[in-house]
Structure 1
Amino acid sequence: MTPPLPTRAALPDALLDRPQWVGWRTQTTGGNETKLPLDVTGGYASATDASTWTTFDEAVAAVEEGEADGVGFVFTDDDPYVGVALDACRDAETGTTEDWAQVIVDRLDSYTEVDPSGTGYRVIVRGSLPPDGDRTGGLELYERARFLPVTGDRVDGTPGEVADRTAELTAIYRAYVQPGESVSEQPPEAEPPKHSASLAAVETPGNDLTDDQVVTRASNGPNGLQFRRLWEGDTTPYDSHDDADRALCSILAFWTGGDPQQMDRLFRDSGLYRNKWDGAYVADGVPYGEQTIAEAIEQASEFYDPSGFSSAVRRTASGHDSDDTGDGGDTDRDRRAGNSTRPGSKDDGGQADHSGGRTDRLTELQDRVDTLLEENERLREELDEERERRRVLEAEVDDEDDGGWSLFDWFK
């Protein structure tokens, strides 16, 4: 359900005066709902590109014209504001608030509104954050390069303007977000973290791709742009860093064949990796990173298969993996292990040579695909360099124009 548009009367003047507004639209990606920032034309906006932002009135007009579902405010290094998101802490029907969230709302005592889902709050204050970490559990702090959907549904009893709360922010950060801390209690030190049973129980096919090959193929795959942004640590299109973590793990689950160790290794190399991956615990004392990987594997409907027999391995209703050839025979894993007696095997009347020739051809084609992917990546890098060169040249031309020289002045 899309919340009603906020009015100027419902929002703090300090925010209305700044041209840091965007539209947003809800999109479901990998089973997760995200809010994508949009400019006034309906194209994608960026929390780091001011040319895609606009005024509050123009953002509202874009929503009224059907270009977006709602409006949001972008936090930057050039403004003094911090957004505090409290997620999954409010009953949308009764308005009942969890104790930990109510404590934070009361302590910050600044402009506070109900979020678009009705299940959380957004508090906006003036202040600054310590440099390390910005989220734990259901609490997230925004200071720069993020946008926050704005509803104007102000919580009764909270101020209508943005208050200076630097000291309070620091206290909340130390109590909840500082590395090693969590909104929910961590397990006792005497009880070591448990490994997720899901990681050991779920059977996945895996594959032989190296880490570099996984990154290359994911970067050039159908959702390559999404993967590259996540890999670089861009959480802009997502409601929270946690949502971005889940989206990246969903992609990694496919390309690694659901190999949890490889997924973990790759995630740690990505721009999304943070202290919470190892230090925040969820149900039953399972580390946040392990649980996120387990959920991604369990929710995956298919895995990438680099062999020539199929392009993906699908999971059956029973949770086991099967090849996607549709013949109901042995799995690809069995074939690679040499346990198949399908036509072309050594037990099939000596036709192994034909099967071997086909396999060689498929291997040759796969090598060709790998070469083309590498060439595509090289060309993409060259294109990025050329675009940067053109931006520099255009900037130099603009500087010359600003210098005041003109042909007409010379004739004078």
Structure 2
Amino acid sequence: MASLENVPAELRAEARWVCWRREERNGKATKLPVDAHTGRMAKSTDPATWATFEDAVAAVGRWRCDGVGFVFGPDRTYTGLDLDHVLVDGALDAEYRWVVEQAGTYTEVSPSGDGLHLIFRGSKPDWAQRSRKGQPGGRVVEMYDRDRYFTVTGAVFEGHDAISENPDVVERAYRTWIEPEAAAQPALSAAGTSSSNGMDDDALLERMYASRSGDAIRALMAGDCSAQGGDRSAADMALCSHLAFWCGRDAGRMDRIFRRSGLMRDKWDSRRGGTTYGAQTIERAIAGCTDVYRPRDRRAERPSRPQNKNACSTVTRREQRGVSDDDAAPKEATTEGAPSVEGWYVDERGRL
């Protein structure tokens, strides 16, 4: 435990620490995270079960634990790279030497004595969805930036005792060992009107929630797809249809807000040929959107309203008379005659 003083001050200042205890579960050795305050099992997804570094260290003996651990939380502030079984008698396998030397970040020997933990400032690329893969010779490489914890020993390896940010090395390590076939998330290009409405995402969401379709939008953002009969793909399209209207068909902003929703899951970044499911869904929503939200102070800039009834926004009687209605909210994109991302058709209610 004496070597814990070597843990970078930046990490020690974070209140995201747990204790851990070796136990055998189903015939397999495991390291259980322990809440330093209660002695019960901690959760990497629940900050209420985390503690300060000092409290975690002090609780190790009290709860008969074997050490402390650092949690990678939902904010994705840090990324951990775990290299299992890469040390033989303290010597690093040559295949893994480059990542330690080029990373220039905090690196320590794991509790087993034959592995390394590297901790970087920053997150994995958004498209990097896998976390673990076995390697030749029984080695294993894991990479996490959220919802996991690393045991921490303070046993600094070869003097690498400071945290740094090195996204290029993180990406190269991911591509080399976890998903060699990975390609970066396709660029999402905006179509049509820009979303430069002067509001940040939080303000725009509040405006959306206050609109006539606010309840439906709020439900979708919470991951509720009951209005779509439990069909999550239809819910994805419904939310993207709303976003196409409110974000001014800005694909990048639509993607950013969708990722904050309860509908976000691994499928969003899954590959579809040269693109992804999420990019395809956004493209379909934009294709079905013929009008966009414009704040009241931009009414004078409004072009004549298109007559296409398949607009993603609600065309009210007031609007048909030429009176703008900023409270109007989008309907799901109608893509009559055009297949959805799953190869099905979307009806006027956004159902597949």
- How does the TM-score come out when normalised to structure 1? 0.41
Structure with a larger share of its residues in helix:
1
Pair member with larger Rg: 1
- How does the TM-score come out when normalised to structure 2? 0.47
